[in-house]
Amino acid sequence: MGRLFGTDGVRGVANVDLTAELALGLSVAAAHVLAEAGTFEGHRPTAVVGRDPRASGEFLEAAVVAGLASAGVDVLRVGVLPTPAVAYLTGALGADLGVMLSASHNAMPDNGVKFFARGGHKLADELEHRIEAVYEQHRTGEPWARPTGAGVGRVSDYDAGFDQYIAHLIGVLPNRLDGVKVVLDEAHGAASRVSPEAFARAGAEIITIGADPDGLNINDGCGSTHLEMLQAAVVEHGADLGIAHDGDADRCLAVDAEGREVDGDQILAVLALAMREAGQLRKDTVVGTVMSNLGFKLAMEREGIELVQTAVGDRYVLEAMKAEGYALGGEQSGHVIVLDHATTGDGTLTGLMLAARVAATGRTLADLAGVMSRLPQILINVPDVDKSRVTTSAELAAAVADAERELGATGRVLLRSSGTEPLVRVMVEAADIEQAKAVAGRLADVVKSALG
């Protein structure tokens, strides 16, 4: 069996890769593994289960709930809520397990299962490996030990989660948003109700787009992967800024008043300065990844803030933050973790904090984001290649070495396999965008020929 868990849970085409049987089996396996680990010891276990609005989430939620209840776990269904809301409620309600059904920014036919441990943190790698092993062991014949009678799990809807999560978001904001006009693009996703409500309660004047999910339109030409609608709406409405989420709202990208994108690196830069000013940026350090723009690193150096870089994936950012006690970290893609207030990337919280900085300073978002200058960065996704060979191909290694010699100290090259999709990402940074395009194009061609 190949690895089921990627960098962000188990993900694939719903009803093809991710079936009801798989979702049910993984849920039972997770319950057994956590029981073995002592998580349930001395009490009746409880799980929080949420989902994004995808049509497939309806049958997958039913499968997960059935699996957990059949393993003796009581289930609180919180319905359609963002991934960070499920993580927050898992911690706030003292649950032993959280489960989110979402494929985040992926297209509608995909879906995913993501588990959270007690406290709302992502499961450790070793627990995921153990869940896979136990699932496979029982899939191939060994029967589960099943409770009966009063030992089976009970299932109930927990409707208070919506208001509880919004109250948490409002409660951690440093200041209100009165006087700030914001356009919100909800990607027809999990934050379609939560985010507008939170911004409105915080005092912002809001215009909302992409907030009519029908189960089929999630991420379709909108949200953080398609900023064009938001950019046009911000300019049309004369807004101070725009905020875009992805399907499960664990990420946030922004648009300034002129319609220009403000990416995750720039958001991190703005929040790092705000948190240091408030005495909240522990060790004067922010955590990024190897994909962080070189301009971000240079800006942080100039401001006297250290940048710690990890492998790509918000789980690795979070690991570094927890290990060293850092308060802020994130990715260029818009996953931003404010560890004092969230256990995972929270797009709604990030957007609120960014708008709060605009409100508190009276400065434009463009002015605030101008603390860093983005070096031109070209990213090419190369599909239908053997991504497992990206680190072992001699032909590819030689091409990368040639590219690095050409760029010298003014740029860099990064090749990596996607953790969630079957492709290789080619990233090139250079002071000159035409040079970056040329080098990236050549490397993408080599990836196709060497790994095709």
pLDDT in tens, 20-56: 999 999 999 999 999 999 989 889 999 999 999 999 9
**What is the mean pLDDT of the segment spanning 325-335?**
96
Per-residue CA distances from 210 to 184, 264, 393 (Å): 8, 20, 43
Q: Tell whether residue 250 is among the known ligand binding residues.
A: yes
**Is the confidence at residue 9, as pLDDT, over 90?**
no
**What is the mean pLDDT of the segment spanning 400-406?**
91
Please name the CATH architecture into which domain 178-369 falls. 3-Layer(aba) Sandwich (3.40)
| Each residue's pLDDT tens digit, 117-173 | 999 998 888 999 999 999 999 888 788 889 999 999 999 999 999 999 999 999 999
**Is the confidence at residue 12, as pLDDT, over 60?**
yes
Domains 5-162 and 178-369 alike in fold? yes
CA atoms within 13 A on the CB side of 97: 33
Beta strands in 222-316 (DSSP E): 241-245, 252-256, 261-262, 285-289, 306-310
**Is the confidence at residue 1, as pLDDT, over 70?**
no
**Is the confidence at residue 249, as pLDDT, over 90?**
yes
**Is the confidence at residue 394, as pLDDT, over 80?**
yes
Q: Tell whether residue 402 is among the known ligand binding residues.
A: no
pLDDT of residue 390: 85
Domains of the chain, by residue range, sit at 5-162, 178-369, 377-451
| Each residue's pLDDT tens digit, 222-244 | 999 999 999 999 999 999 999 99
Write the class of the CATH domain 377-451: alpha beta
Percent over 90 (pLDDT), the chain: 82
| CATH 3.90.25.10 holds for 5-162 | no
Residues annotated as catalytic (active site), given as ranges: 104
Q: In angstroms, rounded to a whole number, what is the distance separating the alpha carbons of residues 188 and 214? A: 8
The β-bridge relationship of strands 97-101 and 205-209 is unpaired
The answer to whether 7 and 418 have CB atoms below 8 angstroms apart is no
Q: In angstroms, rounded to a whole number, what is the distance separating the alpha carbons of residues 317 and 404? A: 26
Q: Tell whether residue 17 is among the known ligand binding residues.
A: no
Q: Tell whether residue 246 is among the known ligand binding residues.
A: yes
Tell me what the pLDDT averaged over the chain comes to.
94
